[in-house]
Amino acid sequence: MSHTLEELASYVGGKVEGDAACVIENVASLESAGSRQLSFYTGGKYKQALVSTKADAIIISEKHMSLSSANLIIVDNPLLAFALIAEKLNPSPIVSGIHPDASVDPTANIDASAYVGAQAVIAAGVQIKPGVVIDASCVIGQGCVIGENSRLHANVTLNDKTQIGKNVIIYSGAVIGSDGFGMANDEGRWVKIPQLGIVEIGDDVEIGANTTIDRGALDNTVIGNGVKLDNQIQIAHNVRIGEHTAIAGCVGIAGSTTIGRHCTIAGGVGITGQLEIADNVHITATSLVTQSISESGAYSSGTPLQENAKWQRNYVRFAQLDDMAKRLKRIETEFKDKQ
């Protein structure tokens, strides 16, 4: 699919500098772009790539436009405009119907515009709304609801009664609505606590490959509108994540924690259970969160990577901090008494 530069600029609310009739067929990086391709520039280390690129057009901000002699689309947010144009030039194919190898319970309600792929299993009482795509080998448990224009890539599992909103994307291997890790101890023997809640996924959510979201024990696990989850994230039972929060890969969130709106949680973060995290909190990579966070801002824990011998020396000193603090306090007291 191709569009003129003028058409693309209008689509993203930008203006053209150069040949508005230039035809663009696809997007590419600055380094690899060529004829009839468009790229973008946001500054920083790609300045030389911008100068040498063979792209026919660049999406760029006004403050950087003097750096390029190519045709330009000038916008305030080049990365956002690039994302919108890339999607426009590469639309998902429109498919519908039920593959003959799919297993569909007769009580399931599947809109005629939806698609169900080969070897998919659709259980009783499922509701699949218009424009939904369910790829091969997905398993949709009893009573699940999947909202308009959502897509489940191959091998996604939705356990019973999971609720999926509109325009949701779930990638392969994700498991939504499995039982939470709830146990009671009976004199050394673990007894399973029935998990009676469900998972509610809002609109415009993206869930990465092999991410797991557990159903609630009594109340529901809730993922708000616009939340973006990377690959291999564990979200335990009764967790609530506020709207438009983004969470990177390999994060683990323990049960009954509430995370606010517009938060960002970097890769490898661990968050213990029953915490409250405010809106607009940003947690850096591999941090361990063990206490609630009541104010917005950036938070970190842990120590950066060091040469091993230096780290070992610092570790020994860290273990001595309590004794050092007591000695310092004693010295301060003795000094004060002599004054």
- Active-site residue list: 237
Say if CB 69 and CB 53 are below 8 A apart: no
**Distance separating alpha carbons of residues 182 and 151, to the nearest angstrom:** 30
* Chain mean position to CA 206: 6
Contact 27, 82 (CB under 8 A): yes
What gap in Å lies between CA 48 and CA 68, rounded to an integer? 10
The torsion angles phi and psi of 298, rounded to 5 degrees, stand at: -100, 140
Answer yes or no: are the C-beta atoms of 197 and 177 closer than 8 Å. no
Tokens of 128: 């699949």
Under DSSP, is residue 299 helix (H, G, I), strand (E, B) or coil?
Answer: strand
Q: Which amino acid is at 220?
A: N
Q: Among the residues of 186-294, which ranges form H helices?
A: none
Q: State whether the Cα torsion 202-267-211-153 is positive or negative.
A: positive
